[in-house]
Structure 1
Amino acid sequence: MRHHFGALPVVPKIFYKQNVQDNAKGADSVHIVADGEDFTLWFGEAKFYNSIADARLDAVVTSVINSLSTDKLKKENAIITSVSDLDDLPIATELRTKIKAALDNRESIDNLKPKIHIPILILHECATTSGTKDLTDAYKAEIIAFHKERAEAYYLKQIAKSGGIHKYSDITFHIILFPVPSKTKIVDAFVQVVAFYKGQL
Protein backbone atom coordinates (compact mmCIF):
# COMPACT_ATOMS: atom_id res chain seq x y z
CA MET A 1 0.00 0.00 0.00
CA ARG A 2 2.72 2.45 0.95
CA HIS A 3 4.96 1.73 -2.04
CA HIS A 4 2.28 1.46 -4.73
CA PHE A 5 -0.34 3.97 -3.58
CA GLY A 6 1.66 6.16 -1.20
CA ALA A 7 -0.71 5.14 1.59
CA LEU A 8 -0.04 5.92 5.24
CA PRO A 9 -1.19 3.30 7.78
CA VAL A 10 -3.68 4.62 10.30
CA VAL A 11 -5.16 1.58 12.02
CA PRO A 12 -3.21 -1.69 11.65
CA LYS A 13 -5.95 -3.90 13.08
CA ILE A 14 -3.59 -6.62 14.25
CA PHE A 15 -2.39 -4.29 17.02
CA TYR A 16 -5.93 -3.61 18.24
CA LYS A 17 -7.28 -7.15 18.47
CA GLN A 18 -8.81 -7.92 21.84
CA ASN A 19 -7.26 -11.38 22.07
CA VAL A 20 -4.93 -13.61 20.08
CA GLN A 21 -7.77 -15.82 18.81
CA ASP A 22 -9.79 -12.88 17.55
CA ASN A 23 -10.10 -11.84 13.91
CA ALA A 24 -9.68 -8.19 13.02
CA LYS A 25 -13.08 -6.52 13.09
CA GLY A 26 -14.24 -4.49 10.09
CA ALA A 27 -11.59 -3.58 7.55
CA ASP A 28 -8.36 -5.53 7.85
CA SER A 29 -6.37 -2.32 7.61
CA VAL A 30 -7.05 1.39 7.27
CA HIS A 31 -4.82 3.78 5.33
CA ILE A 32 -4.94 7.40 4.28
CA VAL A 33 -3.48 8.77 1.07
CA ALA A 34 -2.67 12.47 1.29
CA ASP A 35 -3.07 14.36 -1.98
CA GLY A 36 -2.02 17.96 -1.49
CA GLU A 37 -4.72 19.55 0.62
CA ASP A 38 -7.10 16.62 0.18
CA PHE A 39 -7.12 12.93 1.10
CA THR A 40 -8.60 9.53 0.34
CA LEU A 41 -9.51 6.86 2.86
CA TRP A 42 -8.57 3.22 2.19
CA PHE A 43 -10.37 0.36 3.96
CA GLY A 44 -8.47 -2.81 3.08
CA GLU A 45 -9.77 -6.36 2.80
CA ALA A 46 -7.32 -9.28 2.77
CA LYS A 47 -8.15 -12.95 2.16
CA PHE A 48 -6.10 -16.11 1.66
CA TYR A 49 -7.83 -18.96 -0.16
CA ASN A 50 -6.88 -22.25 -1.72
CA SER A 51 -8.71 -21.18 -4.88
CA ILE A 52 -10.55 -18.23 -6.40
CA ALA A 53 -13.45 -20.21 -7.79
CA ASP A 54 -16.86 -18.53 -7.83
CA ALA A 55 -17.84 -19.84 -4.39
CA ARG A 56 -14.81 -18.14 -2.85
CA LEU A 57 -15.53 -14.89 -4.67
CA ASP A 58 -19.06 -14.92 -3.27
CA ALA A 59 -17.64 -14.89 0.26
CA VAL A 60 -15.40 -11.92 -0.52
CA VAL A 61 -18.25 -9.98 -2.10
CA THR A 62 -20.42 -10.56 0.96
CA SER A 63 -17.65 -9.36 3.26
CA VAL A 64 -17.03 -6.21 1.20
CA ILE A 65 -20.71 -5.32 0.84
CA ASN A 66 -21.29 -5.79 4.57
CA SER A 67 -18.35 -3.51 5.34
CA LEU A 68 -20.00 -0.67 3.41
CA SER A 69 -23.07 -0.30 5.59
CA THR A 70 -23.40 3.10 7.22
CA ASP A 71 -23.04 1.62 10.70
CA LYS A 72 -19.84 -0.23 9.78
CA LEU A 73 -18.29 2.81 8.14
CA LYS A 74 -19.14 5.03 11.09
CA LYS A 75 -17.55 2.49 13.44
CA GLU A 76 -14.39 2.51 11.32
CA ASN A 77 -14.32 6.30 11.42
CA ALA A 78 -14.77 6.26 15.19
CA ILE A 79 -11.80 3.90 15.55
CA ILE A 80 -9.62 6.11 13.36
CA THR A 81 -10.39 9.23 15.36
CA SER A 82 -10.12 7.51 18.75
CA VAL A 83 -6.58 6.14 18.39
CA SER A 84 -3.39 8.18 18.27
CA ASP A 85 -2.16 6.86 14.91
CA LEU A 86 -3.75 9.71 12.95
CA ASP A 87 -1.91 12.30 15.04
CA ASP A 88 1.40 10.61 14.26
CA LEU A 89 1.07 10.75 10.46
CA PRO A 90 3.59 12.98 8.63
CA ILE A 91 0.93 15.29 7.18
CA ALA A 92 0.11 18.97 7.54
CA THR A 93 -1.85 20.00 10.61
CA GLU A 94 -4.52 21.57 8.42
CA LEU A 95 -5.04 18.31 6.53
CA ARG A 96 -5.20 16.33 9.76
CA THR A 97 -7.90 18.68 11.02
CA LYS A 98 -9.78 18.31 7.74
CA ILE A 99 -9.63 14.51 7.98
CA LYS A 100 -10.93 14.49 11.54
CA ALA A 101 -13.78 16.80 10.58
CA ALA A 102 -14.75 14.57 7.64
CA LEU A 103 -14.74 11.50 9.89
CA ASP A 104 -16.81 13.14 12.60
CA ASN A 105 -19.77 10.95 13.57
CA ARG A 106 -22.15 13.84 12.86
CA GLU A 107 -21.06 14.05 9.23
CA SER A 108 -22.98 12.15 6.56
CA ILE A 109 -21.21 9.05 5.25
CA ASP A 110 -22.50 9.96 1.79
CA ASN A 111 -20.17 12.96 1.72
CA LEU A 112 -17.22 10.68 2.44
CA LYS A 113 -17.95 7.99 -0.16
CA PRO A 114 -16.14 9.69 -3.07
CA LYS A 115 -13.00 9.56 -0.91
CA ILE A 116 -13.33 5.87 -0.01
CA HIS A 117 -11.16 3.25 -1.70
CA ILE A 118 -11.51 -0.48 -1.05
CA PRO A 119 -8.37 -2.45 -1.95
CA ILE A 120 -9.21 -6.17 -1.94
CA LEU A 121 -6.14 -8.38 -1.66
CA ILE A 122 -6.76 -12.04 -2.41
CA LEU A 123 -3.82 -14.39 -2.05
CA HIS A 124 -4.70 -17.69 -3.63
CA GLU A 125 -3.19 -21.08 -4.28
CA CYS A 126 -2.51 -21.48 -7.98
CA ALA A 127 -1.74 -24.70 -9.85
CA THR A 128 -0.13 -22.77 -12.70
CA THR A 129 2.24 -21.02 -10.30
CA SER A 130 2.97 -24.28 -8.49
CA GLY A 131 3.97 -25.94 -11.75
CA THR A 132 6.19 -23.10 -12.92
CA LYS A 133 9.92 -22.82 -12.26
CA ASP A 134 10.68 -19.64 -14.20
CA LEU A 135 8.96 -16.29 -14.67
CA THR A 136 8.47 -16.75 -18.41
CA ASP A 137 6.41 -14.63 -20.77
CA ALA A 138 4.08 -17.59 -21.30
CA TYR A 139 3.49 -17.93 -17.55
CA LYS A 140 2.84 -14.21 -17.14
CA ALA A 141 0.41 -14.19 -20.07
CA GLU A 142 -1.50 -17.15 -18.61
CA ILE A 143 -1.75 -15.58 -15.15
CA ILE A 144 -2.81 -12.21 -16.57
CA ALA A 145 -5.57 -13.81 -18.63
CA PHE A 146 -6.75 -15.88 -15.65
CA HIS A 147 -6.74 -12.93 -13.28
CA LYS A 148 -8.59 -10.70 -15.73
CA GLU A 149 -11.32 -13.32 -16.05
CA ARG A 150 -11.54 -13.76 -12.27
CA ALA A 151 -11.54 -10.00 -11.65
CA GLU A 152 -14.39 -9.52 -14.12
CA ALA A 153 -16.33 -12.34 -12.45
CA TYR A 154 -15.74 -10.76 -9.06
CA TYR A 155 -16.94 -7.30 -10.07
CA LEU A 156 -20.06 -8.69 -11.74
CA LYS A 157 -20.93 -10.48 -8.51
CA GLN A 158 -20.24 -7.39 -6.41
CA ILE A 159 -22.29 -5.10 -8.64
CA ALA A 160 -25.18 -7.56 -8.50
CA LYS A 161 -25.20 -7.32 -4.69
CA SER A 162 -24.59 -3.59 -4.43
CA GLY A 163 -28.20 -2.44 -4.79
CA GLY A 164 -28.55 -1.62 -1.10
CA ILE A 165 -25.45 0.58 -0.98
CA HIS A 166 -26.35 4.23 -1.54
CA LYS A 167 -23.85 6.01 -3.80
CA TYR A 168 -22.05 2.74 -4.48
CA SER A 169 -20.69 4.17 -7.74
CA ASP A 170 -18.86 6.90 -5.79
CA ILE A 171 -16.63 4.32 -4.10
CA THR A 172 -13.44 3.10 -5.80
CA PHE A 173 -12.52 -0.58 -5.66
CA HIS A 174 -9.17 -2.24 -6.38
CA ILE A 175 -8.88 -6.01 -6.65
CA ILE A 176 -5.38 -7.40 -6.16
CA LEU A 177 -4.93 -11.08 -6.99
CA PHE A 178 -1.70 -12.70 -5.82
CA PRO A 179 -0.99 -16.31 -6.84
CA VAL A 180 1.11 -18.58 -4.62
CA PRO A 181 2.22 -22.18 -5.23
CA SER A 182 1.05 -23.57 -1.87
CA LYS A 183 -1.17 -22.07 0.81
CA THR A 184 -0.29 -24.78 3.33
CA LYS A 185 3.46 -24.16 3.12
CA ILE A 186 3.03 -20.42 3.61
CA VAL A 187 0.64 -20.82 6.54
CA ASP A 188 2.89 -23.42 8.19
CA ALA A 189 5.95 -21.19 7.80
CA PHE A 190 4.05 -18.23 9.24
CA VAL A 191 2.86 -20.25 12.24
CA GLN A 192 6.42 -21.41 12.92
CA VAL A 193 7.73 -17.84 12.85
CA VAL A 194 4.96 -16.66 15.18
CA ALA A 195 5.65 -19.54 17.56
CA PHE A 196 9.35 -18.69 17.57
CA TYR A 197 8.79 -15.05 18.47
CA LYS A 198 6.16 -15.91 21.08
CA GLY A 199 8.78 -18.11 22.68
CA GLN A 200 11.09 -15.11 23.01
CA LEU A 201 8.60 -13.21 25.18
Structure 2
Amino acid sequence: MARPFESDLVLSEKISDTNLRVYHVGFESNKFRLTPLVEVIRKVIPEFAFGYHEGMTLSYTEVVERIVEAANTVYLTDKYKRRGEFGELILHLLLRDWCNTIPLVSKIYFKDSHNATVHGFDGIHITIEENKKKLWLGESKLYMDGESGVKELAKDVLNHVNANYLKKEFELIRRKIPQEIPDVEYWMNLMHKHKNLDEVFDTIVIPLVCTYSSKIFVDHCDNTDDYFAALEKECRELFEIFNGKVETDVELLLLLLPVPCKDELNTELDSRLKNMQKI
Protein backbone atom coordinates (compact mmCIF):
# COMPACT_ATOMS: atom_id res chain seq x y z
CA MET A 1 0.00 0.00 0.00
CA ALA A 2 1.34 3.44 -0.95
CA ARG A 3 1.47 5.78 2.03
CA PRO A 4 1.70 9.38 0.77
CA PHE A 5 2.61 10.78 4.21
CA GLU A 6 4.92 7.89 5.24
CA SER A 7 3.23 7.66 8.63
CA ASP A 8 4.33 4.03 8.96
CA LEU A 9 7.67 5.48 10.14
CA VAL A 10 5.81 6.86 13.16
CA LEU A 11 2.69 4.71 13.57
CA SER A 12 2.07 1.00 13.55
CA GLU A 13 -1.29 -0.74 13.36
CA LYS A 14 -1.42 -2.99 16.44
CA ILE A 15 -5.00 -4.19 15.90
CA SER A 16 -6.39 -4.56 12.39
CA ASP A 17 -9.82 -6.16 12.73
CA THR A 18 -12.78 -5.76 10.41
CA ASN A 19 -14.35 -2.96 12.46
CA LEU A 20 -11.51 -1.93 14.78
CA ARG A 21 -8.05 -0.56 14.15
CA VAL A 22 -5.64 0.58 16.84
CA TYR A 23 -2.58 2.75 16.20
CA HIS A 24 0.56 2.78 18.30
CA VAL A 25 3.18 5.55 18.36
CA GLY A 26 5.46 4.10 20.98
CA PHE A 27 8.55 5.33 22.76
CA GLU A 28 12.11 6.36 22.13
CA SER A 29 14.59 6.58 25.04
CA ASN A 30 11.62 5.97 27.36
CA LYS A 31 9.71 8.98 26.05
CA PHE A 32 6.56 9.05 23.94
CA ARG A 33 7.42 9.97 20.33
CA LEU A 34 5.35 13.16 20.35
CA THR A 35 7.52 15.18 17.96
CA PRO A 36 7.46 12.63 15.10
CA LEU A 37 3.70 12.26 15.54
CA VAL A 38 3.15 16.02 15.40
CA GLU A 39 5.37 16.37 12.33
CA VAL A 40 3.64 13.65 10.35
CA ILE A 41 0.21 15.13 11.18
CA ARG A 42 1.49 18.55 10.10
CA LYS A 43 2.39 17.15 6.66
CA VAL A 44 -1.31 16.60 6.00
CA ILE A 45 -2.27 20.30 6.21
CA PRO A 46 -1.85 21.35 2.52
CA GLU A 47 -3.82 18.42 1.10
CA PHE A 48 -6.42 18.69 3.88
CA ALA A 49 -6.90 22.40 3.20
CA PHE A 50 -6.92 22.45 -0.60
CA GLY A 51 -7.96 18.97 -1.65
CA TYR A 52 -6.16 16.08 -3.28
CA HIS A 53 -6.59 17.41 -6.83
CA GLU A 54 -4.85 20.75 -6.13
CA GLY A 55 -1.51 19.02 -5.57
CA MET A 56 -1.50 17.71 -9.13
CA THR A 57 -0.86 21.16 -10.61
CA LEU A 58 1.12 22.99 -7.90
CA SER A 59 4.34 24.55 -9.18
CA TYR A 60 7.50 25.17 -7.15
CA THR A 61 7.04 28.93 -7.48
CA GLU A 62 3.76 28.67 -5.57
CA VAL A 63 4.86 26.31 -2.80
CA VAL A 64 5.66 28.77 0.01
CA GLU A 65 2.62 30.94 -0.63
CA ARG A 66 0.30 27.94 -0.76
CA ILE A 67 1.71 26.47 2.48
CA VAL A 68 0.96 29.73 4.28
CA GLU A 69 -2.50 29.84 2.71
CA ALA A 70 -3.17 26.24 3.72
CA ALA A 71 -2.16 26.92 7.33
CA ASN A 72 -4.33 30.04 7.44
CA THR A 73 -7.27 28.04 6.09
CA VAL A 74 -7.26 25.72 9.10
CA TYR A 75 -7.82 28.60 11.55
CA LEU A 76 -6.46 31.96 12.72
CA THR A 77 -7.12 32.06 16.46
CA ASP A 78 -5.52 31.35 19.82
CA LYS A 79 -8.71 29.65 20.98
CA TYR A 80 -7.74 26.30 19.50
CA LYS A 81 -8.25 23.94 22.43
CA ARG A 82 -11.92 23.29 21.78
CA ARG A 83 -11.71 23.24 17.98
CA GLY A 84 -11.87 20.03 15.98
CA GLU A 85 -9.47 20.60 13.09
CA PHE A 86 -6.59 18.59 14.54
CA GLY A 87 -8.83 15.58 14.99
CA GLU A 88 -9.84 15.99 11.35
CA LEU A 89 -6.17 16.09 10.31
CA ILE A 90 -5.60 12.78 12.11
CA LEU A 91 -8.65 11.29 10.40
CA HIS A 92 -7.30 12.44 7.04
CA LEU A 93 -3.88 10.95 7.78
CA LEU A 94 -5.19 7.55 8.87
CA LEU A 95 -7.57 7.26 5.93
CA ARG A 96 -4.94 8.20 3.36
CA ASP A 97 -2.03 6.17 4.73
CA TRP A 98 -3.79 3.18 6.28
CA CYS A 99 -7.07 2.82 4.37
CA ASN A 100 -5.74 3.75 0.91
CA THR A 101 -8.39 6.41 0.29
CA ILE A 102 -8.57 9.38 -2.08
CA PRO A 103 -10.08 12.61 -0.69
CA LEU A 104 -13.25 13.42 -2.60
CA VAL A 105 -13.97 16.92 -1.31
CA SER A 106 -12.10 19.23 1.07
CA LYS A 107 -14.97 20.93 2.86
CA ILE A 108 -12.64 23.28 4.75
CA TYR A 109 -11.54 24.75 1.40
CA PHE A 110 -15.03 26.16 0.85
CA LYS A 111 -15.54 27.91 4.20
CA ASP A 112 -16.05 31.66 3.87
CA SER A 113 -14.10 32.93 6.91
CA HIS A 114 -10.86 31.77 8.55
CA ASN A 115 -12.26 30.81 11.94
CA ALA A 116 -15.61 29.48 10.82
CA THR A 117 -16.50 25.97 11.92
CA VAL A 118 -17.28 23.68 9.01
CA HIS A 119 -20.25 21.43 9.74
CA GLY A 120 -21.04 18.03 8.29
CA PHE A 121 -18.76 15.04 7.96
CA ASP A 122 -15.15 15.57 9.07
CA GLY A 123 -13.74 13.69 6.10
CA ILE A 124 -15.17 12.70 2.72
CA HIS A 125 -13.02 10.15 0.90
CA ILE A 126 -13.41 7.36 -1.64
CA THR A 127 -11.77 4.05 -2.46
CA ILE A 128 -11.72 2.29 -5.82
CA GLU A 129 -10.32 -1.22 -5.59
CA GLU A 130 -10.92 -3.95 -8.16
CA ASN A 131 -14.00 -2.10 -9.45
CA LYS A 132 -15.44 -1.96 -5.92
CA LYS A 133 -16.20 1.62 -5.00
CA LYS A 134 -16.75 2.87 -1.45
CA LEU A 135 -17.69 6.29 -0.09
CA TRP A 136 -15.98 7.05 3.26
CA LEU A 137 -17.82 9.56 5.46
CA GLY A 138 -15.61 10.15 8.49
CA GLU A 139 -15.98 11.60 11.97
CA SER A 140 -13.25 12.45 14.47
CA LYS A 141 -12.86 13.25 18.17
CA LEU A 142 -9.92 14.50 20.21
CA TYR A 143 -10.83 13.75 23.83
CA MET A 144 -9.45 13.70 27.35
CA ASP A 145 -10.69 10.13 27.81
CA GLY A 146 -11.45 7.37 25.40
CA GLU A 147 -14.81 6.34 26.84
CA SER A 148 -16.32 9.80 26.38
CA GLY A 149 -14.82 10.00 22.90
CA VAL A 150 -16.29 6.74 21.60
CA LYS A 151 -19.68 7.53 23.14
CA GLU A 152 -19.74 10.85 21.28
CA LEU A 153 -18.75 9.10 18.06
CA ALA A 154 -21.64 6.67 18.57
CA LYS A 155 -23.99 9.67 18.84
CA ASP A 156 -22.58 11.03 15.59
CA VAL A 157 -23.39 7.77 13.85
CA LEU A 158 -26.98 7.81 15.09
CA ASN A 159 -27.43 11.46 14.11
CA HIS A 160 -25.79 11.27 10.68
CA VAL A 161 -26.85 7.92 9.27
CA ASN A 162 -30.38 8.84 8.35
CA ALA A 163 -32.03 9.71 5.07
CA ASN A 164 -32.68 13.40 5.70
CA TYR A 165 -29.16 14.17 6.90
CA LEU A 166 -27.49 12.28 4.06
CA LYS A 167 -29.68 13.90 1.40
CA LYS A 168 -28.82 17.38 2.70
CA GLU A 169 -25.10 16.57 2.94
CA PHE A 170 -25.01 15.06 -0.53
CA GLU A 171 -26.66 18.16 -1.97
CA LEU A 172 -23.80 20.28 -0.55
CA ILE A 173 -21.01 17.84 -1.41
CA ARG A 174 -22.16 17.02 -4.94
CA ARG A 175 -21.72 20.55 -6.29
CA LYS A 176 -18.12 20.68 -4.99
CA ILE A 177 -16.73 17.43 -6.42
CA PRO A 178 -13.68 18.27 -8.58
CA GLN A 179 -13.76 17.02 -12.15
CA GLU A 180 -10.29 15.51 -11.63
CA ILE A 181 -11.65 12.86 -9.24
CA PRO A 182 -11.51 9.32 -10.71
CA ASP A 183 -14.91 8.12 -11.96
CA VAL A 184 -16.40 11.51 -11.14
CA GLU A 185 -19.72 10.70 -12.87
CA TYR A 186 -20.20 7.68 -10.63
CA TRP A 187 -19.89 9.81 -7.46
CA MET A 188 -22.13 12.51 -8.89
CA ASN A 189 -24.78 9.91 -9.65
CA LEU A 190 -24.40 8.28 -6.22
CA MET A 191 -25.22 11.58 -4.52
CA HIS A 192 -28.08 12.56 -6.80
CA LYS A 193 -31.18 13.59 -4.86
CA HIS A 194 -33.25 10.85 -6.52
CA LYS A 195 -30.74 8.04 -5.93
CA ASN A 196 -32.18 5.12 -4.00
CA LEU A 197 -30.63 5.35 -0.52
CA ASP A 198 -30.77 1.58 -0.11
CA GLU A 199 -28.13 1.41 -2.86
CA VAL A 200 -26.17 4.28 -1.32
CA PHE A 201 -25.95 2.63 2.11
CA ASP A 202 -24.35 -0.43 0.51
CA THR A 203 -21.43 1.73 -0.66
CA ILE A 204 -20.82 3.73 2.54
CA VAL A 205 -18.11 3.22 5.15
CA ILE A 206 -18.11 5.42 8.24
CA PRO A 207 -14.62 5.64 9.78
CA LEU A 208 -14.63 7.08 13.31
CA VAL A 209 -11.33 8.26 14.78
CA CYS A 210 -10.86 8.82 18.50
CA THR A 211 -7.54 10.30 19.61
CA TYR A 212 -7.56 10.39 23.39
CA SER A 213 -5.51 10.75 26.57
CA SER A 214 -4.81 7.24 27.82
CA LYS A 215 -3.96 6.17 31.38
CA ILE A 216 -1.72 3.36 30.13
CA PHE A 217 1.08 5.91 29.69
CA VAL A 218 1.14 6.51 33.45
CA ASP A 219 2.52 2.99 33.99
CA HIS A 220 4.39 2.41 30.73
CA CYS A 221 7.26 4.22 28.99
CA ASP A 222 8.71 1.45 26.81
CA ASN A 223 7.56 -0.90 24.05
CA THR A 224 7.22 -3.93 26.31
CA ASP A 225 4.86 -6.89 26.12
CA ASP A 226 3.06 -5.52 29.18
CA TYR A 227 2.52 -2.20 27.43
CA PHE A 228 1.10 -3.84 24.31
CA ALA A 229 -1.16 -6.06 26.44
CA ALA A 230 -2.47 -2.98 28.28
CA LEU A 231 -2.99 -1.18 24.96
CA GLU A 232 -5.00 -4.03 23.49
CA LYS A 233 -7.08 -4.49 26.65
CA GLU A 234 -7.99 -0.81 26.85
CA CYS A 235 -8.85 -0.47 23.17
CA ARG A 236 -10.97 -3.62 23.02
CA GLU A 237 -12.91 -2.40 26.05
CA LEU A 238 -13.53 0.92 24.29
CA PHE A 239 -14.69 -0.98 21.22
CA GLU A 240 -17.21 -2.88 23.35
CA ILE A 241 -18.50 0.40 24.83
CA PHE A 242 -18.86 1.84 21.34
CA ASN A 243 -20.69 -1.23 20.04
CA GLY A 244 -23.09 -1.04 22.97
CA LYS A 245 -24.11 2.48 21.99
CA VAL A 246 -24.74 2.14 18.27
CA GLU A 247 -26.65 -0.19 15.97
CA THR A 248 -26.73 0.29 12.20
CA ASP A 249 -26.47 -1.70 8.99
CA VAL A 250 -23.91 0.77 7.60
CA GLU A 251 -20.29 -0.41 7.68
CA LEU A 252 -18.46 1.19 10.63
CA LEU A 253 -14.73 1.32 11.34
CA LEU A 254 -13.48 2.55 14.72
CA LEU A 255 -9.89 3.84 14.68
CA LEU A 256 -8.24 4.49 18.06
CA LEU A 257 -5.08 6.50 18.67
CA PRO A 258 -4.15 6.71 22.38
CA VAL A 259 -1.67 9.40 23.45
CA PRO A 260 -0.37 10.48 26.88
CA CYS A 261 -2.12 13.88 26.76
CA LYS A 262 -4.37 15.18 24.01
CA ASP A 263 -3.88 18.76 25.24
CA GLU A 264 -0.12 18.49 24.80
CA LEU A 265 -0.65 17.13 21.30
CA ASN A 266 -3.06 19.99 20.56
CA THR A 267 -0.58 22.60 21.80
CA GLU A 268 2.28 21.19 19.74
CA LEU A 269 0.14 21.06 16.61
CA ASP A 270 -0.99 24.64 17.17
CA SER A 271 2.65 25.72 17.45
CA ARG A 272 3.54 24.02 14.15
CA LEU A 273 0.50 25.52 12.44
CA LYS A 274 1.39 29.04 13.55
CA ASN A 275 4.99 28.53 12.36
CA MET A 276 3.65 27.58 8.93
CA GLN A 277 1.55 30.74 8.92
CA LYS A 278 4.71 32.83 9.45
CA ILE A 279 6.92 31.37 6.70
Q: What band does the TM-score fall into relative to the shorter chain?
A: 0.7 to 0.9
**TM-score (ref. length: structure 1):** 0.83
In structure 2, the residue matched to 1:33 is 127
In structure 2, the residue matched to 1:42 is 136
1:61 aligns with 2:154: yes
1:8 aligns with 2:102: yes
Residue identity in the other structure for 1:194:
L
Report the count of equivalent residues.
Answer: 185
Give the CA deviation at 1:140: 0.9
Which of 101, 104, 111 is the equivalent residue of 2:192?
A: 104
Residue identity in the other structure for 2:267:
D
The 2-side partners of 1:79 and 1:36 are apart by: 28
The 1-side partners of 2:265 and 2:118 are apart by: 20
The 2-side partners of 1:156 and 1:74 are apart by: 27
The 1-side partners of 2:112 and 2:155 are apart by: 24
The 1-side partners of 2:261 and 2:99 are apart by: 28
Helix, strand or coil at the partner of 2:257: strand
Helix, strand or coil at the partner of 1:39: strand
Structure 2 unmatched ranges of 5 or more: 1-94
The 2-side partners of 1:17 and 1:70 are apart by: 25
The 2-side partners of 1:84 and 1:177 are apart by: 29
Give the CA deviation at 1:147: 0.5
In structure 2, the residue matched to 1:193 is 272
Helix, strand or coil at the partner of 1:176: strand
Give the CA deviation at 1:75: 2.7
The 2-side partners of 1:21 and 1:57 are apart by: 26
In structure 2, the residue matched to 1:176 is 255
Structure 1 unmatched ranges of 5 or more: 160-167
The 2-side partners of 1:37 and 1:52 are apart by: 36
**Is contact 1:121-1:175 (8 Å) kept?**
yes
Q: 1:130 to 1:2 in 2, by over 3 A?
A: same
Give the CA deviation at 1:157: 0.7
In structure 1, the residue matched to 2:90 is none
Which of 139, 163, 177 is the equivalent residue of 2:227?
A: 139
Structure 1 stretches of 4+ with a deviation exceeding 6 A read: none
Q: Deviations 1:40-95 (Å, cap 9, x if unpaired)? A: 10001110000023x4433222122111122221233223321143x222x3xxx3
**Is contact 2:105-2:177 (8 Å) kept?**
no
Range with bigger deviation, 64-73 or 191-200: 191-200
1:88 aligns with 2:180: yes
The 2-side partners of 1:30 and 1:112 are apart by: 14
In structure 2, the residue matched to 1:164 is none
Give the CA deviation at 1:117: 0.4
Q: 1:44 to 1:143 in 2, by over 3 A?
A: same
